[in-house]
């Protein structure tokens, strides 16, 4: 396994739609998944998409720490291949997001509160589940990477964009209003 270099905002690999994965169980795909898992662990993030490590494939990994999970149960590392994200309802809310490709910054980004995720897992088995809360936010963020979309492209109010240290220190509260599509 290897720790891979992470592409930063401004690199063209982050701006183009990724290609579908042909065979989830292929050795090169499995090697990429292992390397991405090691890279994500090393970087201390909660999600990593293949384009972020210079591989333009429709594949991402994510996890949900217990501190961010609904019900307090950690969601272990999940591999998502060729995902389709479908909103469940029209409710949208703001939440803080950062990105390993935009280090040191975060912003308030509108996301659907509830989604359905259909995809393939690392073992080739189908994934079909409804998500909400932080897990839904992470999946939408990572799926955006596969379409060449960075969170900064979804910003509506630049007052809620800043360095991690400053936005945490000053505890910028987000508007409690729920947005509609």
List the CATH number of the domain containing 156. 3.90.45.10
161, two tokens = 């964009």
Mark whether 166 is an active-site residue: no
Q: How confident is the model at residue 73 (pLDDT cuts 50, 70, 90)?
A: confident
106 close to 98: Cβ distance less than 8 angstroms: yes
166 domain-assigned: yes
Task: Give the range of the structural domain holding residue 163, as residue numbers without chain letter.
Answer: 12-180
In a domain, 71, yes or no: yes
- Taking residues 130-144, what's their average pLDDT? 97
Per DSSP, 147 falls in state T
Residue 4, in any domain of the structure: no
Distance CA 117, CA 101 (A): 23
Number of domain units in the chain: 1
Residue 117's closest CA among 94, 142, 90?
142
Burial 59-71 (b: 16+ CB within 10 A, else e): bbbbbbeeebeee
Q: What is the pLDDT of residue 179?
A: 58
pLDDT single digits (tens) 41-71: 999 999 999 999 999 999 999 999 988 888 8
Name which of 164, 57, 178 is nearest 110 in CA terms: 178
Which residues does residue 122 pair with via DSSP β-bridges, in sequence order?
none
Selecting among 142, 165, 166, 171, the annotated active-site residue is 142
Is 3 a member of any domain?
Answer: no
Statement: the pTM of the whole predicted model exceeds 0.85: yes
The CA distance from 38 to 25, in Å, is 18
Q: Is residue 7 part of a domain?
A: no
Evaluate whether residue 5 is within a structural domain: no
């Amino acid at each position: 396994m290897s720790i891979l270099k992470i592409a930063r905002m401004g690199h063209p690999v982050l701006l183009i739609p990724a290609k579908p994965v042909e065979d989830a169980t292929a050795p090169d795909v499995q090697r990429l998944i292992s390397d991405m898992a090691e890279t994500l662990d090393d970087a201390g993030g909660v999600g990593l998409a293949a384009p972020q490590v210079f591989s333009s494939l429709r594949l991402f990994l994510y996890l949900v720490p217990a501190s961010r999970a609904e019900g307090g149960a950690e969601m272990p590392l999940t591999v998502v291949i060729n995902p389709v994200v479908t909103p469940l309802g029209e409710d949208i809310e703001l939440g803080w997001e950062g990105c390993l490709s935009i280090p040191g910054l975060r912003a308030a980004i509108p996301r659907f509160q509830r989604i359905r995720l259909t995809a393939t897992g690392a073992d080739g088995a189908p994934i079909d589940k409804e998500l909400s809360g932080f897990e839904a936010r992470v999946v939408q963020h990572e799926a955006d990477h596969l379409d060449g979309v960075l969170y900064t492209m979804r910003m509506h109010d630049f007052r809620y964009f800043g360095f991690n240290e400053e936005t945490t220190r000053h505890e910028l509260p987000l508007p409690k209003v729920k947005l509609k599509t």
